[in-house]
């Protein structure tokens, strides 16, 4: 499913984009600006927003959550 652009309902600073946790099938919508996450099936709204760290776990020392994810082409 190709989604139309969704503006982040938390910070309104960026578009939500699909990302995947590396090495897994876990995909989610992410706001690159404020690191808010929406899991598949949840309506992108303020109440359903998750924290990136809650979804992918704490990164190893010296890395960030962004080292654990990669852009996903969900079609």
- Asked if residue 16 binds Zn ion (CB under 5 A), the reply is no
Alpha-carbon dihedral sign for residues 39, 57, 8, 67 = negative
User: Binding segment for Zn ion among 1-9, 21-29, 37-45, 63-71 (CB under 5 A)?
Assistant: 1-9
- Residue 28 pairs in a beta bridge with 19
Question: How open is the CA angle 69-23-21, to the nearest 5 degrees?
Answer: 30
Question: By rule CB under 5 A, what string of x and - marks binding of each residue 24-43 to Zn ion?
Answer: -------x-xx-x-------
- Asked if residue 11 binds Zn ion (CB under 5 A), the reply is yes
- Asked if residue 8 binds Zn ion (CB under 5 A), the reply is yes
Quick check: 44 and 10 in contact, CB under 8 A? no
Q: Which residues bind Zn ion (CB under 5 A)?
A: 8, 10-11, 31, 33-34, 36
């Amino acid at each position: 499913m190709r989604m139309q652009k969704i503006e982040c309902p938390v910070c309104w600073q960026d578009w939500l984009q699909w990302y995947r946790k590396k090495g897994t099938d876990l995909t989610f919508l992410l706001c690159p600006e404020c690191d808010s996450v929406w899991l598949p099936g949840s309506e992108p709204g303020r109440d359903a927003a998750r924290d990136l760290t809650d979804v992918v776990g704490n990164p190893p020392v010296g890395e960030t959550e962004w080292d654990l994810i990669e852009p996903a082409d969900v079609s």
